[in-house]
Structure 1
């Protein structure tokens, strides 16, 4: 009954192995080395653990190292000693131990880790000889710090430390299957139960050996890993040596402990030769050392994270190993470079590379050794194929037959890209070389070159060739050649060049052989050629398979019928199920993006567990039977939130629902992001948006930092999401914060503004009312003044009007006087003329001789003469004329006199006569001077007035 129970337990145990965890025994897993220059710490890393957020912690010579996928942080102990051990409990506290110091780090209010010492909780006597804390365990509600001299038990609920002294001297301690063990140098292995130590039977035989690790084995056994003496199995009765290849390796290279992967695989650290992973039978599945990519061969500690990936703490550096992946790699450490093709033949895996053809024995299990070069292949090998059981390599050196790991025959020295069997001639193959095509005859035991195919000599390094029953199809962008071979295979009887295969979908992207039929593809639409119609037609069933797939450029069908396709330098597959349906897979291959060999996609499917894919830097092995449990949704954190003068490490806070309040002077904020995704970390991208500052998510970017400046006051929410290398998007992480307005836009400021405005309104209102009253008073006074002024003005106007009326009357009278004066002047002039006439008559009467007259006539003559003389002498018209002329032209004479004070009265008279437009003769008569005297007077007047010869005297006088 007991044996049945043990068998059932073992069966369930092994069943669990198959469901969880996977370590591949072929190739090398993807690994990443972190140097001291990256994590900025000391050399040796002694212990590793992980918190609930996925952050990794290292006990380092320079202190505690934290890594969140983006940023490394270092925290020191108060005495700046090295940290040799660490353990994280469920609450997130990071317990650490150093030299005479132990305690824990915990996140403060702002997320920065703060150290809390527990060594002060023990007595000074116990504190003297603590020495180095080598192990820390969380066991049954207590945290146990173990040094060589004592074990210190800390309970958080009472914040006390209980001391357990070593019976003799402790070596190390271990927790296995919820049981706590100590190794004592004298008493052997001790189990701790009920606060006491109990010696285990048969364990003293190891007193001279340092046990560095204990692992659970089936059948209630424990595997003990010692430093220099190898591996032992303890069944709680006796200890026996574990005789297997893992033990041989440890004996040779010594052990520094290890880890266990899902109770299925054991990781064993070595001092001299890296790390091995073995199964529970001690068979080495994987061996990683400096030659395989590790930066150091001394492994101080190993740790399996929450995704079953492996971390190594090295003597100098840190290494991450992506164990939880269906992919492993053959790179430069296996002597291979860029891979163009691979094939399995006669229990050997052949790989065509840029450095020649290489092979590796196909053993079960696969031996971990480099590939060997096929003798005679040093040039670039484009293809390796098995045709009629003959292995043919197409290389830069020609078409080569490979036998017994060397070139047995050179079929043709021209460079070849590959061969294709001719459908109607199965023993013949057509090979495309650098200048056309050749025919080869390949039988089951022989191969030979037949002839060059005449009629086509195109040269290219990027092309595709497929054959059907009727034609050789050759694609060289942008053309598709349809060539018909002659029956004797010596020439192409016809060659037709196509520039399109569809009127709707332009271009010819690829041609491929699927289910022994040649398909032509453009924009994910697949066409075939109809001989009957002489044209291309679309295979809608095939096109529908690629309807929702990104635009492809290559399709390859493997031995099972799966359809592999490349797009955007990435790879995908439509896996064919038993019911003839296809299942699309792209996510597992996203890690290969950018590493595929463009135009030479190589897929070699041996079986579901062994699929080889060519890469630019080697060969990858893919196990399709491993479930996609490694593809998980990533976590993302706003790692830090900083602003001038302060930084909040939100990634360490247990919750960030808190609303952060920032002053307006801190309106420049910066965020850093992290996603504890360590596999293909360089392909992790972030997208974010700051609401309400941004309405849409920013495009995906690997940059893990963002800064905003000059933000206005208000409530903000920073939202972040991450996308891993498989294209899986995380949940949203967010931080809320408020920026207070500046003091002049603060709520209290607005209240002050309101009160101030109210006060100003009140004061202004009162002043306005007072002003209105004053204005009314002054308005009444002003109206009274205006009334009086108006009344005075009316009186003044009335007085002025009366004066004006009086003036008008005077002016009217003066006008009448002037009119009379003008009339008198005219009359006087007539009288003057009359006097002139009478003087003429008197002059003529004097000339009459009166002696001849009789007395009576003479008497009458004298009377007449006296009468005329009297009339002339008694006439005062001239004086009246002068008076009237002066009256009429008084204003003119006044202006002339004011303007020219030196002018004489005689010249004033002359000016008046000239103004009256009198002739020289008239002026001469009036002024009783000669005509020459008048001209002389005019000349003198012009001179006194300052006129030149060209100026008109009369016009000048009229302008005055």
Structure 2
């Protein structure tokens, strides 16, 4: 039986290093995320860690209980404000905690917030004063066990019982469903049938402080002590565990640890981080402050539900992604941006922006920094093996590397890379900063031959390939097809192509696959036919990449796998023994954004060792590690709040049938989202939809918050889903709620509105009927009134008509009178003229000498003279003329008097005569004044009327 056990151990020792390294890798550093106390808003020290069924992490912290759901940190304190040193979560989600003289549990309320319930109050007052510090909590046989230095408390069915320590407890351990306690005098005690039973031979640990106990094969136990190292016991004997792990613990002290995948033991140290060892004590991994941890003192470690590691530090919290096929060589290994890598003579060489570095390739891989090859401080673009010679293409020139140093500088110009020339054995061509150069290998080594004439442009690209006939160079926007001369001294012909297919413009990449040159554009692969002088599509190769995103680079590795770049990410078509390909993209999504664009480097040593260049170092990929680490994430509505209240806090709210109803005044709602996904949190995406407000899912975004304002009343469902960095989408999580209508749109309000409308219709109908009756009465009265008014109006109109007739008659008579007056004025003027003539005759008669006349003639002459004088003296035409003139121009005189009240009657007469366009002489005769008097009167009238010399007096009078 012992022989079989030995064989089994030997077998395990042989297979564990290979299989285990497929799980916890010994090459490179895992992805590490440090959380400082400024982030989680707690104390420095974290003593214990556990995880609930939703994936939330809980930390026993100096300032209380810290909860982390991947998006938000929460802190909960004990009533006494003391530190929490231990915690454990049961199947119901209750979080049992212990501190100084206090223990109990946190449980979520209906909003998801954690509320504390003290269990120490269930103890009688005497025992309650001697609780001491609760260091460990265990779930054992349906009981919750709290262990302090002085007592053990057992909680079940809301009752607490206790057992006193025989002397003084140190710590307790639950291993293989057995509960152990360390007593300072009796050694290790096992709890059986409600009693503590001492194990023989364990008194040897009385001077040692045991922090953890781990199970080993063959019913053995591994005990980790604080300062004395590691020990193994089979229940009968105790021996030191003489392994690499024990040597490490003896130097750095141990604060316990945990087991991962039942294959590896994680040992926390006080002075130097932690180690991961296999079940034989061989160290697989060692991480400390120099390798990414923020503190070297590991107080506790915990493996989460995805086999990743959480560390509670003396100052902070750290997440270590152990469940990944990727590990990294970063600045702690002395390397920067990686453009190329190659394995040569048992040494791994890496071309970086800081020069060429190397690291011995051993199994196991030595965890030590890379060394720079002297003389390669400048940018190194490529490192290659040409004719079994290691060449470095760098900013310093074309370099030959031998014995980890620059043995020869072939050319001082900067180079991007080298290619062997078909049909020219021992010759190869180098792509420099300004064209191409030829090199030759002979018995004396590699020599620079010449610069190839005919092309001296800066290429700045690795996309150069050679076949038996041409050198192909892609330099946007052209593809150069160049023919080398037989003596390799010049390009005999250079042809430019802007596109290689009529249906697809441009060209995306050049690559050699299965020793053939392919030209790729939008995932369509073409080759060149020299016979037809044309490009033709390789349908088989195009079909192979049919279901991949649009690629920009394709690299065939040493195993025939096809690596392709797209959208700053990477994918691969793994080739199996039958030649079939299997696509993988999800694992590499975590590298998105860290790859070196246009200089993707993949170095496949074997399926377990693949190196990929990054902008901040080198990553190691083990393709044989299972992809079970790619799991479906969970999405939660972290909080649901509205003004003055929060309905959900965290993701612990129990699902109930109670409908969430918000008042209309709180129709401004806010949601935050979370997903307990801790790998590559920065690449976690959310998509949400509020039904029926949103018709479609919102675009994926890292934003984990959404607000909606002024929502109308109705039923709503908020749906959320998450997508992790591997592109896996979670199930939909949702919360339903209802927004009540405002009081004026409530059902009762509408009922009241209906009743009011009915009442209004009834009242209105009655009032309308009454109004109709009144209207009919008033209509009759009104019709009578209108009839009387109409009759009166007719009479009035008849009277007015009669008056109008009378007026017309009067006006007609007046017009006749005016006409007669005008006629009389005219006649009077004629008489005046006649009198003027007669007066003239009289004056002429006076001039006749009557003495010369005979008596008869003289008598007749005197008789005639007397008759004429009598006629002139008895004629009253002047007075009639004045009267008639006033009658004719009455309205004019009235308007003139009203406008100029100070005008005199004499001036009124003058104005009338002027209006009638009489001459000065006529006016003088009528007014019986001289001509000068008329002019003086005219001057005075102009002055009274306010006229200047230029204004026409008669025209002014006519305008009045």
TM-score range, shorter chain: 0.7 to 0.9
| Structure 2 residue aligned with 1:145 | 146
**3-state SS of 1:37 partner:** helix
Contact 1:721–1:730 (CA<8 Å) still a contact in 2? Answer: yes
Between the aligned partners of 1:909 and 1:838, the Cα distance in structure 2 is: 25
Q: Post-superposition shift, 1:487?
A: 4.3
**In structure 2, do the counterparts of structure 1 residues 622 and 790 end up closer, same or farther at CA, with 3 Å as the change threshold?**
closer
**In structure 2, do the counterparts of structure 1 residues 463 and 888 end up closer, same or farther at CA, with 3 Å as the change threshold?**
same
Contact 1:21–1:261 (CA<8 Å) still a contact in 2? Answer: no
**3-state SS of 1:162 partner:** strand
TM-score by length of 1: 0.86
Between the aligned partners of 1:904 and 1:247, the Cα distance in structure 2 is: 146
Between the aligned partners of 1:818 and 1:484, the Cα distance in structure 2 is: 128
Q: Post-superposition shift, 1:343?
A: 2.3
Deviation digits for residues 120-141 of structure 1 (CA, Å, limit 9, x no counterpart):
1111111111111111112232
Alignment of 1:803-822 (within 5 A): none
Q: Post-superposition shift, 1:558?
A: 1.0
Between the aligned partners of 2:713 and 2:766, the Cα distance in structure 1 is: 38
Contact 2:435–2:459 (CA<8 Å) still a contact in 1? Answer: no
Contact 2:821–2:888 (CA<8 Å) still a contact in 1? Answer: no
Contact 1:656–1:735 (CA<8 Å) still a contact in 2? Answer: no
Contact 1:657–1:735 (CA<8 Å) still a contact in 2? Answer: no
Between the aligned partners of 2:134 and 2:88, the Cα distance in structure 1 is: 12
| Structure 1 residue aligned with 2:67 | 66
Contact 1:21–1:324 (CA<8 Å) still a contact in 2? Answer: no
**In structure 2, do the counterparts of structure 1 residues 861 and 50 end up closer, same or farther at CA, with 3 Å as the change threshold?**
same
| Structure 2 residue aligned with 1:686 | 686
Between the aligned partners of 1:534 and 1:834, the Cα distance in structure 2 is: 135
**In structure 2, do the counterparts of structure 1 residues 618 and 937 end up closer, same or farther at CA, with 3 Å as the change threshold?**
closer
Between the aligned partners of 1:907 and 1:491, the Cα distance in structure 2 is: 128
| Structure 2 residue aligned with 1:533 | 532
Contact 1:384–1:392 (CA<8 Å) still a contact in 2? Answer: yes
| Structure 1 residue aligned with 2:446 | 448
| Structure 2 residue aligned with 1:46 | 47
| Structure 2 residue aligned with 1:187 | 186
**3-state SS of 1:651 partner:** coil
Between the aligned partners of 2:633 and 2:520, the Cα distance in structure 1 is: 36
**In structure 2, do the counterparts of structure 1 residues 836 and 566 end up closer, same or farther at CA, with 3 Å as the change threshold?**
closer
Between the aligned partners of 1:902 and 1:593, the Cα distance in structure 2 is: 110
The answer to which of 702-711 and 129-138 deviates more is: 702-711
| Structure 1 residue aligned with 2:243 | 244
Matched, 1:698 2:698: yes
**In structure 2, do the counterparts of structure 1 residues 789 and 537 end up closer, same or farther at CA, with 3 Å as the change threshold?**
closer
Between the aligned partners of 1:873 and 1:425, the Cα distance in structure 2 is: 165
Q: Post-superposition shift, 1:698?
A: 3.4
**3-state SS of 2:426 partner:** strand
| Structure 1 residue aligned with 2:732 | 732
| Structure 2 residue aligned with 1:316 | 315
Q: Post-superposition shift, 1:907?
A: 9.1
**3-state SS of 1:652 partner:** coil
**In structure 2, do the counterparts of structure 1 residues 847 and 220 end up closer, same or farther at CA, with 3 Å as the change threshold?**
same
Q: Post-superposition shift, 1:781?
A: 6.3
Alignment of 1:89-108 (within 5 A): 89-108=90-109
Alignment of 1:125-524 (within 5 A): 125-155=126-156, 158-374=157-373, 377-412=376-411, 414-442=413-441, 447-449=445-447, 451-455=449-453, 456-524=455-523
**3-state SS of 1:41 partner:** coil
Contact 1:22–1:324 (CA<8 Å) still a contact in 2? Answer: yes
Deviation digits for residues 553-578 of structure 1 (CA, Å, limit 9, x no counterpart):
22111111111111222111111123
**3-state SS of 1:205 partner:** helix
**In structure 2, do the counterparts of structure 1 residues 40 and 902 end up closer, same or farther at CA, with 3 Å as the change threshold?**
closer
Between the aligned partners of 1:77 and 1:104, the Cα distance in structure 2 is: 10
The answer to which of 417-426 and 372-381 deviates more is: 372-381
Alignment of 1:881-920 (within 5 A): 882=879, 886=883, 890=887, 892=889, 896=893, 899=897
The answer to which of 251-260 and 382-391 deviates more is: 382-391
**3-state SS of 1:368 partner:** coil
Contact 2:920–2:934 (CA<8 Å) still a contact in 1? Answer: no
The answer to which of 371-380 and 671-680 deviates more is: 371-380
**In structure 2, do the counterparts of structure 1 residues 910 and 43 end up closer, same or farther at CA, with 3 Å as the change threshold?**
closer
| Structure 1 residue aligned with 2:672 | 672
Between the aligned partners of 2:466 and 2:956, the Cα distance in structure 1 is: 124
The answer to which of 758-767 and 201-210 deviates more is: 758-767
The answer to which of 480-489 and 887-896 deviates more is: 887-896
Deviation digits for residues 148-190 of structure 1 (CA, Å, limit 9, x no counterpart):
11121222xx322222222332222222233322222333333
| Structure 2 residue aligned with 1:604 | 603
Contact 1:83–1:98 (CA<8 Å) still a contact in 2? Answer: yes
Between the aligned partners of 2:197 and 2:182, the Cα distance in structure 1 is: 11
**3-state SS of 1:629 partner:** helix
Matched, 1:547 2:546: yes
| Structure 1 residue aligned with 2:634 | 635
Deviation digits for residues 757-787 of structure 1 (CA, Å, limit 9, x no counterpart):
7777777777777777777777766666665
Q: Post-superposition shift, 1:142?
A: 1.9
Between the aligned partners of 2:845 and 2:386, the Cα distance in structure 1 is: 172
**In structure 2, do the counterparts of structure 1 residues 852 and 746 end up closer, same or farther at CA, with 3 Å as the change threshold?**
same
Contact 2:842–2:868 (CA<8 Å) still a contact in 1? Answer: no
Contact 2:416–2:461 (CA<8 Å) still a contact in 1? Answer: no
Contact 2:97–2:104 (CA<8 Å) still a contact in 1? Answer: yes
The answer to which of 315-324 and 636-645 deviates more is: 636-645
**In structure 2, do the counterparts of structure 1 residues 225 and 909 end up closer, same or farther at CA, with 3 Å as the change threshold?**
closer
**3-state SS of 1:591 partner:** helix
Deviation digits for residues 257-302 of structure 1 (CA, Å, limit 9, x no counterpart):
1111121211111122211111222222111122222122211111
Contact 1:21–1:264 (CA<8 Å) still a contact in 2? Answer: no
**In structure 2, do the counterparts of structure 1 residues 578 and 658 end up closer, same or farther at CA, with 3 Å as the change threshold?**
farther
| Structure 2 residue aligned with 1:661 | 661
**3-state SS of 1:725 partner:** coil
| Structure 2 residue aligned with 1:33 | 34
Deviation digits for residues 189-214 of structure 1 (CA, Å, limit 9, x no counterpart):
33333333333344333333222222
Between the aligned partners of 2:490 and 2:225, the Cα distance in structure 1 is: 74
Between the aligned partners of 2:407 and 2:146, the Cα distance in structure 1 is: 68
Contact 1:130–1:149 (CA<8 Å) still a contact in 2? Answer: yes
| Structure 1 residue aligned with 2:57 | 56
Q: Post-superposition shift, 1:114?
A: 1.6
Between the aligned partners of 1:849 and 1:152, the Cα distance in structure 2 is: 186
Q: Post-superposition shift, 1:534?
A: 2.7
**In structure 2, do the counterparts of structure 1 residues 879 and 800 end up closer, same or farther at CA, with 3 Å as the change threshold?**
farther
Between the aligned partners of 1:571 and 1:118, the Cα distance in structure 2 is: 54
Q: Post-superposition shift, 1:702?
A: 2.2
Between the aligned partners of 1:902 and 1:727, the Cα distance in structure 2 is: 111
Unaligned runs of 5+ in 1: none
The answer to which of 592-601 and 890-899 deviates more is: 890-899
The answer to which of 201-210 and 825-834 deviates more is: 825-834
Unaligned runs of 5+ in 2: none
Deviation digits for residues 448-487 of structure 1 (CA, Å, limit 9, x no counterpart):
3152244254444423332222333333334444444444
Between the aligned partners of 1:333 and 1:531, the Cα distance in structure 2 is: 51
| Structure 2 residue aligned with 1:571 | 570
Contact 1:822–1:884 (CA<8 Å) still a contact in 2? Answer: no
Contact 2:21–2:284 (CA<8 Å) still a contact in 1? Answer: no
Q: Post-superposition shift, 1:652?
A: 2.6
Contact 2:31–2:320 (CA<8 Å) still a contact in 1? Answer: yes
| Structure 1 residue aligned with 2:111 | 110
**In structure 2, do the counterparts of structure 1 residues 708 and 802 end up closer, same or farther at CA, with 3 Å as the change threshold?**
closer
Between the aligned partners of 1:922 and 1:359, the Cα distance in structure 2 is: 142
**In structure 2, do the counterparts of structure 1 residues 767 and 401 end up closer, same or farther at CA, with 3 Å as the change threshold?**
same
Deviation digits for residues 668-687 of structure 1 (CA, Å, limit 9, x no counterpart):
43332222111111211223
**3-state SS of 1:252 partner:** helix
Deviation digits for residues 569-614 of structure 1 (CA, Å, limit 9, x no counterpart):
2111111123322222111111112222233322111211111112
